Structure 1
């Protein structure tokens, strides 16, 4: 093979690889900073969870899913808010709706019934799905709250 032909093949290969890299960069997952703020209260087997999802950017998200996990079993029947579904004996997931850049999603309110009254319930809130976005700060979207059966409100 001639030296000029080898150089042409190498240059063509570099151009193709460079184009593939640019295409990957153009379709890379967005980066967002999803956060949850809210409160929980437990009283006689009734757990209330209210939360607001937020996105501190740098990109908006069309939707995400927040997961609420409990240390106690849920009653068989639940009257869940729209966009929410049961995901197990102790889990509920809810869509956040669009999360604009530096904005909030829909307010989510859950009135959950426990299978049996409990003196305390550990409530874990985290992101179940975020549309494939990269989130480098998980400290503001993973919360653990211990709610005592006093009716008091605990914020996170």
Structure 2
């Protein structure tokens, strides 16, 4: 009786049916800026930042006011009104460890509120994962005094 040998050549581990798992780039988006309110007009200025480690091809920052927006005709071209209280703005590309362009969002609120809360957060991060949302989510209370509130 003879001996037989089987040789198995392989190029790597066996793969199940379907696409290979892809790693999700990790980013750390942050927003810093200010909010002012005077006679129902609210101006929010912010600078997007990406602390890395990966680049972001584009992201969307969401600004939501606690009172309905009556007039948003002076929005910058990278921003759109999403609903009665919300505006969405593109940040543009953000390489790792970089700052984006300053975004100015002026709106006039409906009625005559004496204060407003502005929520700033990331709605979309270009398919990247941000495991530190504390520096990209803000709630800013602004009184109708013309004072500047920083975040």
TM score, norm. by length of structure 1: 0.85
Q: Number of aligned residue pairs: give it.
A: 146
Paired residues of 1:78 and 1:113 also in contact (CA < 8 A): no
C-alpha RMSD of matched pairs (Å): 2.4
Larger helix proportion, structure 1 or 2?
1
Q: Does 1:73 align with 2:68?
A: yes
Match in the other structure for 2:13: 15
Paired residues of 1:74 and 1:113 also in contact (CA < 8 A): yes
Larger strand proportion, structure 1 or 2?
2
Match in the other structure for 2:57: 62
Write the distance in 2 (CA, Å) between the matches of 1:121 and 1:132: 31
Moved over 4 A (4+): none
Paired residues of 2:72 and 2:81 also in contact (CA < 8 A): no
Paired residues of 1:85 and 1:93 also in contact (CA < 8 A): yes
Write the distance in 2 (CA, Å) between the matches of 1:130 and 1:91: 18
Cα displacement (A) at 1:76? 4.7
Write the distance in 2 (CA, Å) between the matches of 1:83 and 1:77: 13
TM score, norm. by length of structure 2: 0.88
- Stretches of structure 1 that go unaligned for 5 or more consecutive residues are none
Paired residues of 1:69 and 1:91 also in contact (CA < 8 A): yes
- Stretches of structure 2 that go unaligned for 5 or more consecutive residues are none
